Structures are given as structure tokens and as C-alpha cells.
Amino acid sequence: MPALARMLISDEEFAGCRATVMDGNPDMAAEMAGRIVEEGLKFVAACSANPGVGLAPSRIVDEGWHALILHTAVYAELCQRLGGAFVHHYPGWDPTNYDPPILDRTREKIGELGWEADPQLWGPPSDETLVSVAAKCQHSPDCTIVITPKPKPGGVV
């Protein structure tokens, strides 16, 4: 994996995703929007590298993931480069679903890729002291992200 997760996509693609985060959050600084997109990239890479584990982003990081998903060609190419399994989004709309072990597991998997999860952006959904985001998704055990690997030739997974 590259030293910076933001290098998983081109500078132009990164700028476009950052602008999408800023469009949904008009008072957000470009630096913060960039941090959120970078954490979204780390999350997608962790999901791709750990099929079947069940990971979830924090509510703030979900905003960056949403921006990546909205750039459909960029997102599809990213998933392909990371191993081919498309990382689908399963929204969870109930903020009471917050389950810290899911975030702990996700941060651990990000660390195994050589990155550090930004601790300020991986907190509970009620922690909006740093930044408030438009995304209202809150992933939980019922809506964790589980990647199903592509079948290998001959139908073996």
C-alpha cells in the first residue's frame, strides 16, 4: 500500500471527492474535507483487504465514503485496483446503532495496511465537536460492510 491513502486515486479525483464533501457541508474547510476523503479511502481499502470480516466507518468517515461512491467511475476503478470486489454500501439510519467494537475492528484493519486511522474522525456519532457532517448513516452489526469475494474460476471462493 502507498504511504498515503489519498494516493489510491489521482489528485484530480481526490479534489473532486473533496469538493463533493464540501458541497454537502458548506461550512467545512478544504483541509477537513480532504482528511475525511482520505479516511474514506482507508476504509474502502480495509474492506477490500478483509472480505467477510464485517467493517463499518464512523459517521464522519461515512461522509467521505459517500463522496467516493458518488464519483461512480472513480469508485469502481478504485475497488477494481484494490482487488476487484466491489465494496457495497448498506446504510444504517439509526444513530442509536453505534457499536464501538465495529469501529475498533475497522481501525485495526486499517492499521494492518500500514496506515493510522485518524482518531479525531473515528469517534462516536454524537461526537461532532470537531466537525458536523450531513451524512446521517450509522452502521451497526446489522449493516456492517461484508465483502463477498469474486468466485475463482471453477466456482471456488
Fill in the amino acid letter for 69. Answer: I
pLDDT category at 3 given cuts 50, 70, 90 is low
* Any domain includes 150: no
* Any domain includes 18: yes
Which residue range(s) make up the domain with 124? Answer: 7-143
The pLDDT assigned to 40 comes to 97
* Any domain includes 154: no
* Any domain includes 30: yes
Closest by CA position to 50, among listed 123, 112, 6: 112
User: Can you give the pTM of this predicted structure?
Assistant: 0.83
Per residue in 80-112, pLDDT (tens digit) is 999 878 888 877 666 666 778 889 999 999 999
Contact 81, 91 (CB under 8 A): no
Count of domains for the chain = 1
* Any domain includes 116: yes
Question: Counting beta carbons within 10 angstroms of the beta carbon of residue 5, is it exposed (0 to 12), middle (13 to 18) or buried (19 or more)?
Answer: buried
How far apart are alpha carbons 56 and 61 in whole angstroms? 9
* Any domain includes 124: yes
Q: Please give the DSSP secondary-structure letter assigned to residue 145.
A: B
